[in-house]
Every structure is written in structure tokens, then in C-alpha cells.
A and B are shown apart, each in its own frame.
Chain A
Amino acid sequence: SQTIHQWPATLVQPVGSPLSLECTVEGTSNPNLYWYRQAAGRGLQLLFYSVGIGQISSEVPQNLSASRPQDRQFILSSKKLLLSDSGFYLCAWSGFPPLANYGYTFGSGTRLTVV
């Protein structure tokens, strides 16, 4: 069965420090991968999505970047964190075509607090 792993679960980082959040998927190949962010009390905003290794699409301009060095690995990074980067980050995957399975599977999330 397919599983998605996301870590760390919580993170407290000072302003100006770098960030690296990792997400891996098991049990499937060539998944579509997504990073979403949820600010406190707000909805979910798509940040990046990837349809293959090295292929990254950005939905919003921001202080963050994403990379997909391997088929089932998706990394969210920042060189210098801002206070506004605080939030709950969720990684998700879907099959290709994306709707061949029941939908999208989400990781357990990373709660990032920038201080």
C-alpha cells in the first residue's frame, strides 16, 4: 500500500535561518507531489507541485523553493525564513492521472513556527 512520510512534525526556527522539510512516498512510482501551506486559522494554499523529477511548478511567489531530487522525494526549502513563513505545511501525492485513485493523500504535516 502507498504511504507518505513527512518530517519533522514540529519545528521552531529563528528568523533568517534556513529551512528544509522532506516528504517521501512509498508504494507507488511517478506520483504527482504537492506542498500546501495552512496559515493559522486559514485555508490551504498550494505552494508547489511536481509531475516528475526536477519538474517544479510554483503557484505563488514567496520566500520558499521546492526540489524533487528523486521520484518519490519532495523537499521544501528556504534560505532565510521570515515570520510570515510560520504555518502548517502539508505534503500530498496523487497518482497519474491524478484522479485514478480516490484522490490525494496527505502527509501528517509539519507545524513551523518562525520566531
Chain B
Amino acid sequence: AQKVTQAQTEISVVEKEDVTLDCVYETRDTTYYLFWYKQPPSGELVFLIRRNSFDEQNEISGRYSWNFQKSTSSFNFTITASQVVDSAVYFCALSSNNAGNMLTFGGGTRLMVKP
């Protein structure tokens, strides 16, 4: 069975601080995909990134960066110089072909960025 754990249920930071959202996953599959989604107060899920299990290269997109470490089964997400607009719930998710191609979500981390 697959499992995604986001241990931080809520994080509060002051604007311009850096913040890291943790994600730990479990799967028996050797080929899998990891995702991060952002859910603003309006509710829709906004895709942020997909990472393949065979590509451990870290990725940076503007103020966002992701650290994929297979050795620790982690896929952490860092926001640099946070802004109020970053306030949202962030979900980490896992999918694999052997698990019916379904997305398994973590419980989410609510990030509050205060001005």
C-alpha cells in the first residue's frame, strides 16, 4: 500500500522568511511519481510539480524548490522569501502504475504567511 505523510499540519511564518514543507512517502514500487499541489482558499488544486522516481535531480522554479531524496523517501518543498499570496494548503501526493495510477495524498500542510 502507498502512503504519504505530511507531519506538519500547520506552519506560520512572517513574510520574507524561508519555509520548508516536509513530505515522506512509502511505496513498494520502483517506478513512481511524486507531486505537489497548492490549494488556495478558493479550493481548487493547483499543480506545482511532478517528479519521477528515477530522477533525483532537485528542481528550482522561481522562489520554489524541491529536494527529492530516495534514500530517506522524502520530497520536501521549500519556499524562499515567502509572500502572503503563498498562504494556502499544500499537498504532497504519490502515484504509480502498480497502484492503479491513483493519486495518494498526504494530509496537507496549511501555510500561513503573515505580513
Chain A residues packing against B (C-beta within 8 Å): 32, 34, 36, 42-44, 46, 49, 57, 59, 88, 90, 92, 94, 97-99, 102-109, 111
Contacts and interface: CB of A to CB of B under 8 A. Distances in A.
Contacts, number: 59
Given A49-B100, A90-B45, A92-B45, 15 more contacts: A32-B101, A36-B105, A43-B106, A44-B91, A49-B102, A92-B103, A94-B101, A98-B95, A98-B97, A102-B50, A103-B33, A103-B35, A104-B95, A108-B44, A109-B43
Contacts of A97: 97, 101
Given A32-B101, A97-B101, A43 B95 contact: no
Interface of B: 33, 35, 37, 43-45, 47, 50, 91, 95, 97, 100-108
Chain A at the B interface: SS class: strand
A107 to B, nearest CB: 8
B44 A109 contact: yes
A36 B45 CA distance: 11
A52 to B, nearest CB: 13
Nearest to A41: B110
Given A43-B91, A44-B105, A88 B43 contact: yes
